[in-house]
């Protein structure tokens, strides 16, 4: 299927690893011109080189700490200078630290808000003016299945990502008339470094091995396994494409059927 992404400019945050890198790879494979950003300059350069080698597409590395408001504006300008105006934004940031309510303090909460919620807000503000001028654009916020069904021990993620969903839904209403689509892509148990860390944290608390933790999760996932990053990345590419041109204001779940909520 031709997705209509050839020559489109996509800016993918958290693009040096995990779900961000998988998203960038899938977009580049479909012909998009891709810019990836993250804090780790060396990992970012390696990822960009690997994506270009694997896909034959264009991928540029632009270092960015999404918790720095001024840096977001500067990085956005660098993307535009290198590739052109952004057609697709994939807003993605590392998840807040795990923890229960009584284990967390005000400063941890503030930092989590800045990382997960404020960064999404600021990234959207960076790209929307140009999208409005051109009458088109797609903004994808990478969230979590916790926005449909909370995950125990991840209070800050449950809070901050839910706020992003509320923002995305509202933006979709306000920006639809300008040809801009806004939606969320929610990963479930997809095998990334972040998931390994969460599984290791549970293992340390329960006395299970990490392998036992993984097996117990697989038993409750209807498809019987963790997802692969490339499976997630391909959904992002489809959602960004012309083939999804009537999809906005919603959350696409990529969780192997794990989430029990009927409000998908």
The pTM of this model reads 0.93
Kindly state the percentage of the chain with pLDDT values over 90: 83
pLDDT of residue 212: 85
Q: What is the mean pLDDT of residues 188-210?
A: 86
User: 166 and 65, same structural domain?
Assistant: yes
pLDDT exceeds 80 at position 82: yes
pLDDT exceeds 90 at position 102: yes
Q: What is the tally of structural domains in the chain?
A: 2
Assigned domain for 62 exists: yes
pLDDT exceeds 90 at position 121: yes
User: 234 and 221, same structural domain?
Assistant: no
Say which CATH number the domain at 23 has: 3.40.50.720
Assigned domain for 15 exists: yes
Backbone angles phi and psi of 185, in degrees to 5: -120, 120
**14: confidence class by pLDDT, cuts 50, 70, 90:** very high
pLDDT of residue 196: 84
User: 104 and 216, same structural domain?
Assistant: no
User: 103 and 124, same structural domain?
Assistant: yes
User: 117 and 219, same structural domain?
Assistant: no
**Residue range(s) defining the domain that contains residue 206:** 191-226
Task: Report the DSSP beta bridge partners of residue 12.
Answer: 36, 90
pLDDT in tens, 18-42: 999 999 999 999 999 999 999 999 9
User: 195 and 178, same structural domain?
Assistant: no
pLDDT of residue 214: 85
pLDDT of residue 104: 95
First to last CA, the chain: 25
CA–CA separation, 62 and 133 (whole Å): 24
Helix, strand or coil, per DSSP, at residue 146: helix
**263: confidence class by pLDDT, cuts 50, 70, 90:** low
Q: What is the mean pLDDT of residues 78-102?
A: 95
Closest CA to 88 of 145, 195, 6, 171: 6
pLDDT in tens, 143-152: 999 999 998 8
Assigned domain for 262 exists: no
- For residues 193 and 74, the model is more confident at 74
Assigned domain for 93 exists: yes
CA–CA distance from 112 to each of 20, 28, 154, 159, 248 (Å)?
A: 19, 30, 11, 9, 26
Give the angle 50-95-138 at the CA atoms, nearest 5°.
65
């Amino acid at each position: 299927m031709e997705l209509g992404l050839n020559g489109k400019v996509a800016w993918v945050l958290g693009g040096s690893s995990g779900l961000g890198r998988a998203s960038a790879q899938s977009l580049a494979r479909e012909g998009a011109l891709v810019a990836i950003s993250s804090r780790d300059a060396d990992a970012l350069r390696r990822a960009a080189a690997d994506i270009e080698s694997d896909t034959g597409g264009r991928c540029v590395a632009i270092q960015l700490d999404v918790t720095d408001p001024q840096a977001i504006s500067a990085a956005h300008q660098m993307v535009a200078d290198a590739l052109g105006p952004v057609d697709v934004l994939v807003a993605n940031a590392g998840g807040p630290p795990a923890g229960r309510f009584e284990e967390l303090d005000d400063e941890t909460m503030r930092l989590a808000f800045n990382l997960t919620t404020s960064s999404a807000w600021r990234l959207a503000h960076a790209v929307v003016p140009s999208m409005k001028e051109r009458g088109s654009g797609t903004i994808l916020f990478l969230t979590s299945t916790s926005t449909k069904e909370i995950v125990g021990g991840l209070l800050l993620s449950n809070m901050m990502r839910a706020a992003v969903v509320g923002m995305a839904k509202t933006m979709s209403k306000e920006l639809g008339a300008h040809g801009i689509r806004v939606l969320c892509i929610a990963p479930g148990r997809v095998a990334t470094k972040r998931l390994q860390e969460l599984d290791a944290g549970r293992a340390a608390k329960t006395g299970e091995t990490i392998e036992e933790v993984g097996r117990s999760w697989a038993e409750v996932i209807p498809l019987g396994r963790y997802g692969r990053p490339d499976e997630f990345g391909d959904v992002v590419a489809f959602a960004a494409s012309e083939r999804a041109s009537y999809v906005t204001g919603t959350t696409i779940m990529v969780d192997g059927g794990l989430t029990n909520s009927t409000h998908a």
